Each structure stands twice: as structure tokens, then as C-alpha cells.
A and B are shown apart, each in its own frame.
Chain A
């Protein structure tokens, strides 16, 4: 069974700083996707960034980028120039093309302080 682990329950940084959220996963599958979802206090979950396992190049979306280490089964999210609106729960998630079932980590609560 696939598992996703986020080892940082909470993090707090100052506005404009860079922050990195950690995620590790366990799978025997070779074809899969990894995601970071953001869940602000209003509860609507939105996709931040996606990484296909077959791509070696790390995905980037504006201030958000990932460090995908396939051999180590690690998938960290870096937020550059953090903003107050980045305050939210962040969930790492995994889906294999075989099982097609999205598995979430426990989440990291990120607070951006003014």
C-alpha cells in the first residue's frame, strides 16, 4: 500500500522568507504522480503543483517549486518570497496510474507572519 508522510506538523516563517515543506512517500509502483494541495482556512482545497514521476525536471509554478528525488522517494515543496495568503494547511498527495487512488499525507500547517 502507498503511504505519504509529512514530518512537519507546523511551520512558521516571516513574510518574504523562503520555506520548504517536506514529504516522503512509499510505493512499489513506477508510474505515479505527486501533488501539493493547499487548504486555506476557508477549507477549499486547491492544487498548488504537480509532478509526474517519469519527468526528471522539477516542476515550478511561479513562487512554488518542488525538489523531486525519485530514488529517495522524497518530494519537498519550496515557497519563495512567502506571502500572507500562503497561510494554509499543505498536503502532499500521491496517485499511481494503476490504483488511481489519491493518498494524502497528514498535512503541514504553514503560518506566514507579517
Chain B
């Protein structure tokens, strides 16, 4: 079974530039998550999709971050304009619906963003 795919793996941009990350979840996984992991910290949920609808985006900085999941499969996360404090690893994860699958999430390799 193919895992969660993310691209690019690394990105370096200057502040005020824009950047986009792409995620392809495990086939059949209806739930998709984007996390931000700042160096030395645990991942923090940015947004959660169920199919192509948003379940939770309470911690997404909506003035600069946006995300979409068209057709309930792939997803993109965009930052525009980027700030220095956005430097982090952005993790994508997917899962099958909740209780029946014990809420296990499968993570991609992440995209390391450096904002200079």
C-alpha cells in the first residue's frame, strides 16, 4: 500500500513570497490533515478535511494560509505572504473514519520550509 505522498520535500523562500505544498493521501482515506511542526515542538493541527469539506480550521492563520482539497483526494496548502515564523516542517496525514479504525493517522514525509 502506497503511503502519504508530499512534495516538495524542501523549500527555501524569502519572506513575503508565496509557497504551496501538495499532499496525496493513502487511497481510500477520507480524512486528511495538515500539521505545522516547528523545530523542537510537536506537530500542531492546522486544518482537517473530511472528504472535501473542512472539519476543523480553528488554528489556521487564515490571513495568510489557505488550503483546499478538491474532489476529496489531493490537497494543497498555500502560504501567502510568508513570514519568518512560518519556517517549519509541514506534515500531511490521512486516516480512515474514526472509531472503527482507532483514529490512527498515517503521516507523509513532510515539507521542510525555510523562510529567509
Contacts and interface: CB of A to CB of B under 8 A. Distances in A.
A69 B86 CA distance: 37
B98 A106 contact: no
Contacts of A50: 102, 104
Contacts of A105: 42
A4 B43 CA distance: 12
B19 interface: no
B107 interface: yes
A95 B43 CA distance: 14
Interface string A73-105: 000000000000000000101010100111011
Contact of B43 (A42, A44, A52, A104): A104
Contacts of B93: 45
B54 to A, nearest CB: 13
Contact of B103 (A37, A43, A46, A102): A102
Interface residues of A, number: 23
A44 B105 CA distance: 12
A54 to B, nearest CB: 11
Interface in B41-64: 41-45, 48, 55-56
A33 interface: yes
Given A50-B104, A101-B48, A101-B56, A42 B41 contact: no
Contacts of B98: 97, 100
Contacts of A42: 109
Interface in A1-32: 4
Given A35-B104, A44-B3, A102-B105, 5 more contacts: A44-B107, A47-B105, A97-B103, A102-B45, A106-B41
27 contacts: A4-B42, A33-B102, A33-B103, A37-B107, A42-B109, A43-B89, A43-B110, A43-B112, A44-B3, A44-B108, A45-B43, A45-B91, A45-B93, A45-B107, A46-B107, A47-B105, A50-B104, A91-B43, A93-B42, A95-B103, A101-B45, A104-B43, A104-B44, A106-B41, A106-B42, A107-B40, A107-B41
Interface of B: 3, 33, 40-45, 48, 55-56, 89, 91, 93, 98-99, 102-105, 107-110, 112
